[in-house]
Amino acid sequence: MSTIAAVTDATAAVLAHVPAHVPALVDRDTLVGASALGLVPVALAALVVLVKWWRGRDEVFVDVTPGLLPADPARAPRRRVRGGQWSGTVAPAFAPPGATRPGEARAGVVRPGVVGTVVDGVADPHDVSATLLDLAVRGWFRIVDVREREDERPRDWELRRSPSQPEETPSAFEQLLLDRLFEGRDHVRLSELRGSFALTMREAQIGLYREVVDRGWYARHPRARNGRTRAAGLAVLVPLTLAAAVVVVTAFLDAHDWSLTPVLVGLLVALVVLARFGGARTPRTAEGTALRIQALGFREYLATAEADRLRFEEKRALLTGYLPYAVAFGLTAHFADLLRDLAKESHWGDYVDGLDWYDFGGSGPDGADLSLGDALGDLGELTWMADAGDLLDGVDGFTDATDSLFSWDGLPGCGDGCDGCDLPGCDL
């Protein structure tokens, strides 16, 4: 009891020195005015976000079937897409963007890596890997699996320059890749490129961005954050918020007056809104939207194609030029199913003739080096190849290994993941 009494007495002594009542001084007129003033930065930040969203919507041609170009695109009327980017129903397209029919000459066809960049606005590692695979398919070099055993890990591939180069002019970033791959050599192993090739891959990534801008599918860099207005707003809001915080805290400590608190709250809300939503995606031009729709239609075709419904030229095109697109779209599993079905047909050998760009590093029944065409031909005869999926395993492994060449460690300016923002027009 004596202990409890002592605690009670001590508590009473402390409370005797505390004022019985400390009023909170709130001026109603000041509070109303501060509340109205606090809404101003919030409204301005919301207006900036709204304008950015409005201007960040893709363009589309007016009164033109989605995916098609008008006769005179430069003068054709266009409007903004309501939802940001076009999301309507996609009709299957039976050829890559830029081609009018399956198997058409490749000169005007949009390449797989470029297609992937236009579709999602990002030149990711797989887009560059699909480009390398496409260069091999087009005859610039051969890909040779150099593992000595089936279970050898990690696998390795050798790239061998073709003795006779194709009669075409590669794009600037494709030529960059070819030059940096071989550097005067006739062959190079993929494992030898690890580390030193990362910067080249980044340059190719920037080249993809540059091509989609130069060809008019984006008005500026697809990864531009378009945040100059946001940056200017933050430059004003941050000092104002700090000043308001000092004023509010001082008023509360001196007179227990929190009438100006709404001003601080409004500035803080505006700061968060502008920092989080003040940027905007780079919109596609109407030409870019048309290309994206074509690409999605071609992806739909590859994803739903059935062997028994394809015409002869379509089946041949699937194997002679469409595999890089399937890889870029992530459809190799479905592609393997198509091979299984096609291999059962009597004209199988006519589809696969000339597919010598990938060498499995082994030999076929006759002892010769086994190219992709040889392997697929033998699959059609069902003599010794077990599964079409095994044939694509090597191609899939090559693209995955090429993706792994993207190592940004130690590269200057890669704190943002090396999204190619050193291309002019990639602002804050």
304-347: pLDDT as tens digits: 888 778 787 777 777 778 888 988 888 877 877 777 777 677 66
Residue 255 lies in a domain: yes
pLDDT at 61: 92
* Amino acid type, 392: L
Rg of the Cα trace of the chain?
31
Residues 170 and 311 in one domain: yes
What local confidence, expressed as pLDDT, does residue 293 receive?
Answer: 94
Judge if 268 and 396 occupy the same domain: no
Q: Are 160 and 51 within one domain?
A: no
- pLDDT at position 412 is 43
Task: Give the separation between CA 321 and CA 298, rounded to whole angstroms.
Answer: 13
Q: What average pLDDT does range 100-116 have in this prediction? A: 74
Do 208 and 238 belong to one domain? no
Do 394 and 318 fall within a single domain?
yes
Does residue 79 lie within any of the structural domains?
A: no
Tokens 């005859």 belong to residue: 139
Q: Please say if the pLDDT value at position 289 is more than 90.
A: yes
**Amino acid 297: pLDDT:** 93
Is residue 356 one of the residues assigned to a domain?
Answer: yes
pLDDT over 60 (residue 427): no
Instruction: Say if 289 falls within a structural domain.
Output: no
Long-range Cβ contact pairs of 85-88 (< 8 A, separation 24 or more): 85/57, 85/58, 85/284, 85/289, 85/292, 86/58, 86/60, 86/289, 86/292, 86/293
Residues 364 and 260 in one domain: no
pLDDT at 421 over 70: no
Do the domain assignments include residue 67? no
Total count of domains within the chain:
2
192: domain range? 93-217+296-403
Mark whether 147 and 209 lie in a shared domain.
yes
Least confident of 132-136, 217-221, 315-319, 390-394: 390-394
pLDDT for res 368: 47
Residues 99 and 176 in one domain: yes
Q: In residues, how long is the chain?
A: 428
With CA atoms as reference, report the closest residue to 286 among 77, 52, 53, 426: 77
123 and 202, same domain (yes or no): yes
DSSP class of residue 135 equals H
Domain assignment present for 78: no
Give every CB contact of residue 189 below 8 A, 6+ residues apart in sequence.
146, 156, 157, 158, 159
Joined tokens for residue 31: 């509070």
221: which DSSP letter? -
Number of H helices, E strands in the chain: 15, 7
Residue 327 is which amino acid?
V
The upper half-sphere exposure of residue 415, i.e. CA atoms within 13 Å in the direction of its Cβ, equals 1
- Mean pLDDT (the chain, rounded): 77
Separation CA 143–CA 390 (nearest Å): 16
Nearest to 101 by CA among 288, 293, 298: 298
Looking at per-residue pLDDT, the higher value among 127 and 29 belongs to: 127
pLDDT of 424 above 60 = no
Does 161 lie in the same domain as 39? no
Calculate mean pLDDT across residues 34-63. Answer: 86
| SS3 (DSSP) at 362 | strand
Q: How far apart are CA 255 and CA 26, in angstroms?
A: 10
Tell whether 83 is covered by a domain.
Answer: no
Do 168 and 257 fall within a single domain?
Answer: no
304: left (phi over 0), alpha (psi -120 to 50) or beta: alpha
- Confidence (pLDDT) at 390: 59
Q: pLDDT (tens digit, 9 = 90+) per residue, 124-148?
A: 888 988 999 999 988 899 888 887 6
SS3 state of residue 157: strand
| Residue 9 belongs to some domain of the structure | no
Are 300 and 206 within one domain?
Answer: yes
pLDDT at residue number 23: 54
